[in-house]
Amino acid sequence: MVNFIKRDKDDIYSKPILGFLFKNQKFLLTLKLVVLFIFLYAIYYGFAHTGKDNNFTYAVFWGIFWSLFMVITLPTFGRIFCGICPHGFVGKYITKFGLKKTMPKWMQNRYIGILLLVIGWWGIYYMFPGLFRTPLGTAALFTVMTFIAFVVYFLYKDMSYCKYICPIGTLTRAYSKLSFTWLGTYKSACNECKTFECATACPYNLKPFTFDSRNSMTDCTLCMDCSAACEAVSFKTKKPSFSLFSKFQTLKAEVWTFILILASIPITMSFHHGIGRSNAANDMIWSKTAEFLKNYINFGSVDAVGLFAFLYALAFTVVAALIGMFIASKILQKDFKKIFYDLGYSYAPLFILGSIAHSLETFFMRGYERIVEGFAQGFGFSVDVASLAKRGDSWLHMFGLLKWVAIAWALIILYKRIKLLDASKVRKIIAYPFAASLVIFFLSVNIYRGHIIDTYGRASGGHGSHGGGAMFQSVSKDKAIILQSGKDKHLCSNCSMKLPKFYKTNHAAHLKDETKQYCSIHCLSEAKNIKKMPLRDLKVVDVTSLKFIDAKEAFYVVGSKKKATMSEVSKYAFALKADAIKFSKRYRGRVVNFAEAEKIAMKDFDTPAKNMASKPSVSDVVYFSDKNPIPKKGKGSHGGHSHGGWGKVPSKKVWPLFEDSSEKLRCFDDIKAELYLLDANLKVSKLNQSRDRGCKSVSFKMPANGYYNLFYKAKDIENKTLYISTSKYEYMRFNHSNDAVYDNEKMAAHSIKEVPFDILRLREEGETFYHRLYSGEKIRFKVLLDSKEIKGANVTLSTKTGWSKTVKTDKNGVAVFTLIQDYFPDWDKFDRRHQNKFLITATYTKDAKGEYLYEDYDKVKYTSTYSSLYYPGESSYKSYAYGLFAASAAAIITGFIIYFFRKRREKPFKEVKFNEKN
Amino acid sequence: MKKIRDFINKADIKRFRFWLQLFFFVIFIYGGYFAINLGNSIPVFSCGYDREVGGMCYFLPLQHQLARPLDVLFSVASISVLIGFVTFLLWFIVFNKAWCGYACPLGTMQDWLTGLRKKLGIRYSTYTQPQFNKLKKIKYIMLAIVILSPIAVGMGLLGGEWRTAFCQICPGRMITPLFVGDVSQWSLDFSTKSAMILTSIGLVFTGLFVVGSFIKKRFFCFFCPMSAMHYIFSDAALLKLKKDGDKCTKCGDCYNVCDMQIKDIADDVESTNILRDDCIMCLKCVAACPEDDALHVDLVNYPIFKSTKGGFVKRMEIEELEKKND
């Protein structure tokens, strides 16, 4: 034993704050006592408050202990969780007075703990979701575990419970190998030591002075008792997982922990919660197995799908690990067991880093709020905090990086461990990918999950609701209060939707002697204000108590994230203002009174969709727009983008529009014209209008790079004149791929024979896939009539600001315009990607006799449109003069500075003479 | 075999380097005219803003890729990012930092400016050692800008004009396109405040670049983030610059010829791998070393170019000097 030692720089004990936290015995004792108190109190609280309103027990056990604190500390500081664990803390004293027997051989089996965790906890978790997470379940579980722990501590010596029975004992031991801390000793002091205080002090009967030479901390739980006994004990920072980079005595149970935990947590979660919440969930093998077996076995309340997802995950994971390692061992010509347990340590990072990501994400989204509010509740005061992040906040995706770090880390450990083996280099290289089989399996499960969710989409109901897709508004039939009577009393008086299904937005009112009940404020307002029914005594359901209250006294939360009934903007009513504010904090939205809510509800009825759609008269000019004429509320309408995720064929949606005689913009309620698409490979196909309600649109897919031309052609006859109206929408799709070839032939402007009158935008010299139109540029159009250039057609360019210019085509059928600059915003609002829309209209009248729809005509009037956009020219925001000035000023000023600096030195800077040629 | 080796060791590395640099300069700057396209993961500053580029600097695509929304970036869709990165690594690990000394067009331009200065007979400048130690950290800050600023764009913290923030301030963007007669990058962008700040920094840096590399050899390489990125992966490279400390007499020749003022090349007799983060692997030091085998360049542990007494004598033209003296 030594009383003083000069500590190394990397020794945590020598650091000012961390050293105190990890070494000061009084502090550690206090900390352990506090943790023990919270632990016992949370259990007591769980028994005392079994209701759902008990947030405290949940916060302690499932908010902090597992998984937040544990998974974050394990791969960083190591097993400090065990160091402050109440079981170990009390167990040390129990053992002191206990029987100190040796544990029987059959119980000295680490698989007891592992299987308790994998089957006893995770198996049950997937079979009966939510069982343990109730306050009572949690309290009961931890009481039983504590009882078992204390009995085992009393009977057996050396803290055998922690080593063999504790469900997370082996888990923490295994994953702490990734940490960057290391408990060891100073060799110089230990060499002369004869008393071994550190070993005597250790409640686990370990020998800290052998840790360094064995390259393993074995069962050390970082309780720091040894560091109190002798100063030669060190606690150093090292490279993360450094001990895995050299040899040590492997422990089979640890490798199995890595595999089984990987199977039961991330893999099963990917299966059951990831893929299981997509639309393809029912096609997966575990769902099918469960469905199939349901015909023969009665599962009762067991979640069969979860159970089979778990079983399949276990099977797949174990098989993936075994097969890969078996092949690797054959290639390396080594004993399978040696290879398996030597290289299996590379699996360590896979679970734990992903789990950190998940825990942190949960913490920022919900955990923080639950923990703070839970603890406040436990200690008898009330606070209300908002969560730190919202689902979908983009910075939360940062944590997604950890999964890739885990995979890289696993591959590095595998590389280092395979290097330690004694085999030829070629064999090692060939064996490497096979030994990495489980890493590859983990990677592919992740890729597959992403693929499934991208391709099939998330099933509605989404995350968070374990029991299927019930809507927020719904309550069960027996809970819904139905005020009206009659046969259809369960249906909304206005729209006949089921009332209990939308109960939380239900309204009611008196009409003469009758009571009418409505599904929502939307239907109520429709009856009251549009159908002008004399409704009185308006009532609404209070979301908190689910009872009807006076609507005029209620507090409405408008525009929250919870879905609305019959509307895009949700409106939920509360009797108490505090409840309304709390709700709006959680789900956003604002608190208003009934009159305001009714006004907002009435806005549903004046959306433009209902009075916008119509059909054009013969003289109306029709053109395509890529912007939805009815902008969606809330979301900024940003047209011009093509849709399509990664790996999907992008598509484009456009709306044909026209202005009616009163110059009001209108869209089609039914497109009665012919629609053609000329794709990038110059193939013509016919298109159909969308099945949207309201404004009709046309969409087309764009699989290849190049121009896509959409044509509209309509014919009509009136006053002995045949009107032929065409319009064209030209769009270039380019995916920025390096393989794209700009084929001048294909990329040129094309017309199709189905369209008699057409406008072509002629390509300029040297156009590429990056081509765009800018203000100040010349733009040339060619007008074709029956595929021949036509002279003397009127061509008009009009911009959004109302500027227009008309020219006649020359003998080649070409009209030339200069795109004017008509975008003059304030400097701070300037957007260089501002899209100036413009419309080209070509008209031509020809005398021709003929018959259309059994009516004669003696004139044909052709109209064609071409809509596109241009961007502000570079000269409107870029300056060469200033640029050149900045660069040359910098050059000249530095030049002078250097010149004068050199001149001022009387003696030149001590020059080193040598032949500069070399 | 011995003859070949002797020939290489006595080679005029300066001339060899000049022609190789010219060759790569033409490939990278004018490659488009010859329909050469080496992809866009090239580990040198062959600027992508040059429309005839024969192989693009890796930073331009990297910044574009990193600026994806975070959920896309950390998903499977970003396999393409990984592919680009692996291609970059494959290019890099073959030649290590010799990319800087032999292939980088921006480096070549600086060498030409240095040549011009020499012709004019103007003295060159150096940093003092404390200045050197402080300034060398700048390239890691630049690398941080390359990586973090597009990620911040992806997170929505910064506006779109920060997507290629480093390219905006990199002098290569102004200077490289000049060689194909494109002056469009020499403009100040007033469309937003940050675009204005970035482009004016870029233009000021361009001015500094010209003056700086005129009076200080390889002025820009000292701050080059690509150099920093190279150094991170240089341990994995196949080509290595090695030193045999036992044979070193600390004569300082190597330090004196070093464009980058790396002191370790003369002082350090402990490490075998003498490549430092500023090194551009121009191999001037090997050529200037008068001791047999003290410095050598290895390709997968096989020495391909060694310092020899004979080579030193030949390159220094000592024999001719002696003849003259006789």
B252 assigned to some structural domain: yes
* Per-residue pLDDT, A175: 92
Which DSSP symbol is given to B297? E
Q: Do A898 and B215 touch (CB under 8 A)?
A: yes
Instruction: Please tell me whether residues B197 and B301 are part of one structural domain.
Output: no
Measured distance CA(B158)–CA(B181) in Å, rounded: 33
Contact A565, A505 (CB under 8 A): yes
Average pLDDT over every residue of A435-449: 91
Task: State pLDDT tens for residues A123-141.
Answer: 888 888 777 778 888 888 8
Contacts of B288 in chain A (CB under 8 A): 918
Token pair recorded at residue B304: 């391909």
d(CA B53, CA B63): 18
Facing B76 at nearest CB: one of A447, A909, A918: A447
CB A642 within 8 A of CB A654: no
* Secondary-structure percent of chain B, ordered helix, strand, coil, rounded to 5: 60, 5, 35
Q: How far, in whole angstroms, is CA A65 from its chain's centroid?
A: 25
Nearest chain B residue to A899 by CA distance is B215
Q: How far is CA A343 from CA A282, A327, A331, A438, in A?
A: 37, 13, 14, 11
CATH number at residue B289: 3.30.70
Is B151 in contact with B236 (CB distance < 8 Å)?
Answer: no
Query: What integer is the mean pLDDT of A790-819?
Result: 90
Which of A397, A447, A878 is closest, CB to CB, to B187? A878
SS3 state at B44: coil
* pLDDT band (50, 70, 90) for residue A570: confident
SS3 A461: coil
Question: Across chain A, what does the average pLDDT equal?
Answer: 85
For residue A909, the chain B residues in CB contact (below 8 A) are 125-126
Together in a domain, B84 and B166: yes
pLDDT at residue A691, as a whole number? 77
Q: CA of A827 to nearest chain B CA: how many angstroms apart?
A: 7
Residue A916 pLDDT class (50, 70, 90 cuts): low
Overall average pLDDT of the A895-910 stretch: 78
State which residue of chain A sits closest to B193, comparing Cα positions: A828
Binned at pLDDT 50, 70 and 90, residue A647 comes out as low
Clarify whether residues B83 and B154 are in a common domain: yes
Q: Which two tokens stand for residue A232?
A: 């030669």
Q: Name beta bridge partners: A715.
A: A724
| pLDDT tens digits, A266-307 | 999 888 888 888 878 888 888 888 888 888 888 877 888 888
Q: Which of A273, A255, A225, A341 is nearest to A125 (CA)?
A: A273
Domains of chain A: which residue ranges?
12-249, 273-321+328-423, 500-606, 623-630+652-876
Structure confidence at residue A466 (pLDDT)? 39
**Contact call for B74 and A827, based on CB within 8 A:** no
Strongest mean pLDDT among A128-132, A564-568, A573-577 = A573-577
- B208/B43 Cα distance (integer angstroms): 23
Supply the ipTM of this predicted assembly.
Answer: 0.86
Residue A634: predicted pLDDT: 41
Alpha carbons A247 and A421: distance in angstroms, whole number: 9
**What's the CA gap between B83 and B256, in Å, rounded?**
41
Residue B191 to residue A912, Cβ atoms within 8 A: no
Integer CA distances (angstroms), A129 to A126, A362, A399, B118, in order: 5, 18, 26, 79
Cα A427 from Cα A329, distance rounded (Å): 10
Contact criterion met (CB < 8 Å) for A886 and B200 = yes
Residue B119 domain flag = yes
- Together in a domain, B221 and B271: no
**Cβ pair A642, A652 in contact under 8 A:** yes
A477 in contact with chain B, both atoms CB, cutoff 8 A: no
Instruction: Compute the average pLDDT of residues B160-178.
Output: 92
B60 falls within a domain: yes
Q: How many residues does chain B have?
A: 326
Q: What are phi and psi of A613, to 5 degrees?
A: -75, 135
pTM for this one?
Answer: 0.69
Q: Which residues of B touch A874 (CB under 8 A)?
A: 184, 187
Q: Is residue B218 located within the same domain as residue B284?
A: no
Q: How many Å apart are CA A599 and CA A595, to the nearest integer?
A: 6
Residues B66 and B185 in one domain: yes
- What's the CA gap between A676 and A685, in Å, rounded? 6
Instruction: Say how far apart CA B263 and CA B136 lie, in whole Å.
Output: 13
Answer whether residue A881 shows pLDDT above 50: yes
Q: Do A890 and B118 lie within an 8 Å CB cutoff? A: no
B285 and B183 together in one domain: no
Query: Taken in order A248, A254, A259, A263, is the CA torsion positive or negative?
Result: negative
Residue B324 domain flag: no
pLDDT of B173 above 90 = yes
User: Which residues in chain B touch residue A875, judged by CB atoms under 8 angstroms apart?
Assistant: none
Decide: B203 and A878 in contact? Cβ < 8 Å: no
The 10 Å Cβ neighbour count of residue B232 is: 11
Q: What is the span of the domain harbouring residue B40?
A: 13-230
Q: Do A398 and B70 touch (CB under 8 A)?
A: yes
Predicted local confidence at residue A32, as pLDDT: 92
pLDDT value for A609: 47
Q: Which residues of B151-169 are buried (b: 16+ CB within 10 A; e: fewer)?
A: bbbbbeebeebbbbbbbbb
- A274 vs B contacts (CB less than 8 Å): none
Amino acid B206: pLDDT:
94
Among A394, A451, A880, the residue with its CB nearest the CB of B155 is: A394
B6-30 pLDDT, tens digit each: 888 888 888 999 999 999 999 999 9
Q: Is residue B239's pLDDT more than 70? A: yes
> Are residues A472 and A563 in contact, defined by beta-carbon separation less than 8 angstroms?
yes
- Helix ranges (H only) for A215-281 are 225-229, 252-262, 268-269
Residue of A nearest to B161 (CA): A832
- Two structure tokens written together for A59: 């916060």
pLDDT in tens, B175-213: 999 999 988 899 998 888 888 999 999 999 999 999 999
The pLDDT assigned to B301 comes to: 83
Q: Of A539, A554, A548, whose CA–CA distance to A479 is shortest?
A: A548
Domain shared by B150 and B297, yes or no: no
Task: Output the 3-class SS for A423-450.
Answer: CCHHHHHHHHHHHCHHHHHHHHHHHHHH
Sign of the CA dihedral with A253 first, then A255, A258, and A262 last: negative
pLDDT, tens digit, 9 for 90 and up, residues A358-386: 888 888 888 888 888 888 888 888 787 87
Q: Does A383 touch chain B (CB under 8 A)?
A: no
* Residue at B120 is within a domain: yes
CA distance A145 to A142: 5
C-alpha distances (whole Å) from A866 to each of A152, A839, A841, B207 are: 85, 6, 7, 46
Question: Which H or E run includes B314?
Answer: helix B309-315
Model confidence at A615: pLDDT above 80: no
User: What is d(CA A61, CA A38) in angstroms, rounded to the nearest whole number?
Assistant: 10
Q: Are strands A855-870 and A721-733 parallel, antiparallel or unpaired?
A: parallel
Mark yes or no for CB contact A916/B71 under 8 Å: no
Last residue in a domain, options B175, B196, B230: B230
- Tens-digit pLDDT profile for residues A173-196: 999 999 999 999 998 888 888 888
**Which residues of chain B does A398 touch, with a Cβ-Cβ cutoff of 8 Å?**
70, 74, 155
Say if residues B74 and A401 touch (Cβ distance below 8 Å): yes
Using CA coordinates, name the residue in chain B closest to A830. Answer: B191
Binary contact (B288, A918; C-beta < 8 A): yes
The DSSP output letter for A568 is S
| Gap from B257 CA to chain A (nearest CA, Å) | 7
Q: Tokens 């999964």 appear where?
A: A403
If you average pLDDT over residues A340-353, what whole number do you get?
A: 92
Q: What mean pLDDT comes out for the span A781-799?
A: 91
Fold of the CATH domain A623-630+652-876: Immunoglobulin-like (2.60.40)
Give how many domains chain B has, as a whole number. 2
Task: Judge whether residue A495 has pLDDT over 80.
Answer: no
Confirm if A290 and A307 have CB atoms less than 8 A apart.
Answer: yes
Nearest to B76 among A451, A878, A884 (CB): A451
- Amino acid, res. A533: M
Instruction: Please report the pLDDT score of residue B156 as a whole number.
Output: 81
Q: Is the peptide bond before A67 cis (omega within 30 degrees of 0)?
A: yes
Phi (first) and psi of residue A867, to 5 degrees? -110, 140
Indicate the SS3 state at residue A271: helix
Contact (Cβ atoms closer than 8 angstroms) between residue B208 and residue A892: no
Residue A639's pLDDT band, with cuts at 50, 70 and 90, is very low
Residue B303 φ/ψ, nearest 5 degrees: -65, 125
Q: Are residues B250 and B169 part of one domain? A: no
Please state at what angle helix B138-155 crosses helix B225-233, rounded to 10 degrees.
90
State the Cα–Cα distance between residues A386 and B191, nearest whole angstrom: 38
CB-CB neighbours of A759 under 10 Å: 25
